[in-house]
């Protein structure tokens, strides 16, 4: 064990201190003014270390982690693309970081312009007619969108619509958001080719349906070829069509959800439009609406002004401004011509990996995919090397694991999304390593099953780690 791999408590020496404060001139203060119930019986056991010890401790800790800045991160369903550093510089400009949300509007017109420009770009990329940038995450956008859906029906005096239809391949947040919004969730099945089963959908559609949530391409990375018919059917029964736009990446510059007939959508700026979002934040989930829902966006809204039929308030102020800035910087940095290439490159990268690996990994749905695709584990299952083992072994080779055991449609799901930001060389290296692991699984399965071998943390007991996490030494 290296000296600085020790816990900071083990480095502690009584009386050592990392800083020195000037004498306060008041002498020792006593705690006697605090009620005894609030006083400590003993001094807290804080580590007593020097400044270099603190710096080395945290610097070493930070390098134990894996991030998109340290390696390829092919997480399916979650678009972990590289975040250009110019975004960070723009978001750190003092003119932006020092504004306060309660400042008079006239003093923050630059920020208002940022909101306006980003909303306009999002409208033209998605084909929607207006956006709110208030929601703080994808799931928060979903909730906002569903509240808009509910609000729309209530405005039309339609009180019987309590159901929301969700495909069985949907991201888990879809049924969760619908339930949180008070809807009854009804599942529609997928066909063997992975698309929504329109025949299964038809009997579900009646006057109790508020709408249907979809993502296109769906969670298997497949384009829903029946989307026009589905939109027609949902609209014919009086429902609205909701688009989960966390999967917008492959569509950018190619087709627009607004043109497919979607009425409400959310985007994940922290996915499709870059912003580091490992570990659960920060995010931004703007919601776009079609002409039908005009005037119902949440308040406050800087540039759309007073909304005639506003659904109300869903956040204190105007969303996560830092993420909004990064998204605008990303779009402007690429420019119109390059933004149009995003979707095509994301699609090309995914298909390239899929084709190069499908002889050693099981490909349950073999058709042209969009930005991501799903393997059902290794093709050769004789040594019982699982998807979890493959994922762990990848870490030994310096790649982050793809999404595993999701979607739930297959037993050994291994879901890969390379994004448009990776070079051909990186993709080739990943393919080479995936092939090596398949070979190892055949020749030395125990080695794969006991991986990872060279990461700071080996293989924790997943069940114990989830149920009884040890958060301190
Ligand atoms: C990531 C994701 C979400 C949820 O977004 P959060 O920002 O994590 O709340 C919803 N749907 C899909 C398809 C996603 O990939």
Ligand 1 proximity of 277 Cβ (cutoff 6 Å): no
Start-to-end Cα distance in the chain? 16
Domain end point (choices 296, 330, 364): 330
For the chain, the farthest-separated pair of C-alpha atoms sits apart, in whole angstroms, at 81
Closest CA relative to residue 363, chosen from 405, 429, 413, 400: 413
Residue 276 DSSP code:
-
The pLDDT value recorded for residue 205 is: 97
Residue 270: inside a domain, yes or no? yes
Instruction: Tokens 């969009």: give the residue.
Output: 370
CATH number of the domain where residue 281 is located? 3.40.640.10
Contact 346/371 with Cβ under 8 angstroms? yes
- Residues 132 and 249 occupy one common structural domain: yes
Nearest CA to ligand 1 atom 14: 246
Which atom of ligand 1 is nearest to 271's Cα? 1
208-220 as b/e: b if 16+ CB within 10 A: ebbbbbbbbbbbb
Closest CA relative to residue 248, chosen from 346, 119, 368: 346
DSSP string, 216-258: SS-TTS---TTHHHHHHHHHHTT-EEEEEETT-GGGTTT--HH
Alpha carbon distance 167, 407 (integer Å) = 12
Alpha carbon distance 143, 174 (integer Å) = 9
Q: Can you name the residues that pair with 264 across neighbouring β-strands?
A: 242, 289
Ligand 1 proximity of 249 Cβ (cutoff 6 Å): no
The pLDDT value recorded for residue 174 is: 96
- Residues 139 and 190 occupy one common structural domain: yes
Ligand 1 proximity of 283 Cβ (cutoff 6 Å): yes
Alpha carbon distance 299, 123 (integer Å) = 19
Ligand 1 proximity of 173 Cβ (cutoff 6 Å): yes
Question: Which structure tokens are listed for 191?
Answer: 């066909």
- Residues 300 and 363 occupy one common structural domain: no
Identify the H or E element spanning 22: none
DSSP string, 30-72: -STTS-GGGS-SS--------HHHHHHHHHHHHHTS--TTTS-
Range of the domain at 52: 3-63
Residue 264: inside a domain, yes or no? yes
- Residues 385 and 461 occupy one common structural domain: yes
- Residues 186 and 311 occupy one common structural domain: yes
Ligand 1 proximity of 220 Cβ (cutoff 6 Å): no
Question: Which structure tokens are listed for 301?
Answer: 């809204």
Residue 76: inside a domain, yes or no? no
| The total number of structural domains that make up the chain | 3
Contact 369/354 with Cβ under 8 angstroms? yes
Ligand 1 mean position, distance from CA 449 (Å): 31
Q: Can you name the residues that pair with 206 across neighbouring β-strands?
A: none
Nearest CA to ligand 1 atom 7: 138
Which atom of ligand 1 is nearest to 137's Cα? 7
CATH number of the domain where residue 458 is located? 3.90.1150.10
Nearest CA to ligand 1 atom 5: 138
The pLDDT value recorded for residue 5 is: 81
What is the pTM for the complete model shown?
0.88
The rounded average pLDDT for each run of 10 residues, N- to C-terminus, in the chain (473 residues) is 85 90 75 78 91 93 85 89 92 94 91 95 96 95 98 95 94 95 96 93 97 92 93 98 94 95 96 81 92 92 74 90 95 95 95 98 94 96 96 95 91 96 97 98 96 87 83 63
Ligand 1 proximity of 323 Cβ (cutoff 6 Å): no
Helix 424-443, helix 321-357: angle, nearest 10: 50
Ligand 1 mean position, distance from CA 268 (Å): 7
The pLDDT value recorded for residue 279 is: 66
260-274 as b/e: b if 16+ CB within 10 A: bbbbbbbbbbbbbbb
Nearest CA to ligand 1 atom 2: 246
Alpha carbon distance 392, 66 (integer Å) = 13
Q: Helix H segments across 290-411?
A: 321-357, 387-396
Alpha carbon distance 188, 168 (integer Å) = 6
Domain end point (choices 281, 308, 330): 330
The pLDDT value recorded for residue 308 is: 82
- Residues 323 and 405 occupy one common structural domain: no
156-166 as b/e: b if 16+ CB within 10 A: eeeeebebbbb
Ligand 1 proximity of 286 Cβ (cutoff 6 Å): no
Which atom of ligand 1 is nearest to 285's Cα? 7
Domain end point (choices 278, 303, 330): 330
- Residues 162 and 300 occupy one common structural domain: yes
Residues 6+ apart with CB under 8 A from 185: 163, 164, 166, 175, 178, 179
- Residues 300 and 172 occupy one common structural domain: yes
Ligand 1 proximity of 274 Cβ (cutoff 6 Å): no
- Residues 53 and 175 occupy one common structural domain: no
- Residues 316 and 450 occupy one common structural domain: no
Which atom of ligand 1 is nearest to 140's Cα? 9
Alpha carbon distance 284, 295 (integer Å) = 21
Ligand 1 mean position, distance from CA 9 (Å): 38
Residue 79: inside a domain, yes or no? no
Ligand 1 proximity of 269 Cβ (cutoff 6 Å): no
Ligand 1 mean position, distance from CA 219 (Å): 11
Ligand 1 mean position, distance from CA 202 (Å): 27
Ligand 1 proximity of 177 Cβ (cutoff 6 Å): no
- Residues 149 and 266 occupy one common structural domain: yes
Mutate which of 173, 222, 257, 417 to test ligand 1's pocket (most atoms within 8 Å of Cβ)? Answer: 173
Instruction: Tokens 């930070």: give the residue.
Output: 62
């Amino acid at each position: 064990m290296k000296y600085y791999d020790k816990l900071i408590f083990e480095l502690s020496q009584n009386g050592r201190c990392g800083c020195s404060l000037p004498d306060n001139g008041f002498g020792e203060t006593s705690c006697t003014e605090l009620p005894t119930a609030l006083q400590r019986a003993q001094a807290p056991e804080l580590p007593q270390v020097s400044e270099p010890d603190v710096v080395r401790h945290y610097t070493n800790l930070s390098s134990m982690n894996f991030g998109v800045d340290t390696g390829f991160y092919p997480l399916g369903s979650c678009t972990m693309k590289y975040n250009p550093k110019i975004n960070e510089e723009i978001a750190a400009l003092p003119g932006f970081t020092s504004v306060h949300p309660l400042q008079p509007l006239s003093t923050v017109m630059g920020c208002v312009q940022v909101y306006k420009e980003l909303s306009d770009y999002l409208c033209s990329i998605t084909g929607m007619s207006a956006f709110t940038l208030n929601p703080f995450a994808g799931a928060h956008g979903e909730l906002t969108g569903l509240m808009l859906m509910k609000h729309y029906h209530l405005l039309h005096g339609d009180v019987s619509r309590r159901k929301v239809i969700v495909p069985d391949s949907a991201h888990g947040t879809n049924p969760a958001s619908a339930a949180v919004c008070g809807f009854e969730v009804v599942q529609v099945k997928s066909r063997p080719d992975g698309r929504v089963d329109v025949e299964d959908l038809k009997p579900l559609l009646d006057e109790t349906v508020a709408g249907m949530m979809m993502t296109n391409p769906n969670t298997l990375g497949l384009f829903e070829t029946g989307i026009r018919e589905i939109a027609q059917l949902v609209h014919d029964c009086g429902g609205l069509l909701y688009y989960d736009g966390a999967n917008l990446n492959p569509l950018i510059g190619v087709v627009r959800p607004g043109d497919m007939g979607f009425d409400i959508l959310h985007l994940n700026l922290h996915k499709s439009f870059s912003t580091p979002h490992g570990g659960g934040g920060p995010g931004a989930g703007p919601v776009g609406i079609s002409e039908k829902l005009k005037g119902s966006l949440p308040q406050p809204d800087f540039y759309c002004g007073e909304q005639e039929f506003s659904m109300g308030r869903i956040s204190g102020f105007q969303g996560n401004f830092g993420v909004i800035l990064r998204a605008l910087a990303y779009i402007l940095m690429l420019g119109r011509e390059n933004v149009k290439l995003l979707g095509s490159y994301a699609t090309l990268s995914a298909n390239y990996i899929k084709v190069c690996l499908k002889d050693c990994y099981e490909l349950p749905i073999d058709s042209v995919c969009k930005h991501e695709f799903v393997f059902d584990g290794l093709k050769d299952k004789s040594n019982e090397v699982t998807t979890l083992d493959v994922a762990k072994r990848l870490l030994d080779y310096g790649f982050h694991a793809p999404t595993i055991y999701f979607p739930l449609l297959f037993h050994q799901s291994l879901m890969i999304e390379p994004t448009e930001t990776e070079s051909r060389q990186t993709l080739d290296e990943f393919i080479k390593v995936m092939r090596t692991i398949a070979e190892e699984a055949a020749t030395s399965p125990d080695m794969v099953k006991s991986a990872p071998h060279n990461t700071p943390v080996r293989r924790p007991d997943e069940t114990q780690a989830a149920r009884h996490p040890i958060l301190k030494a």
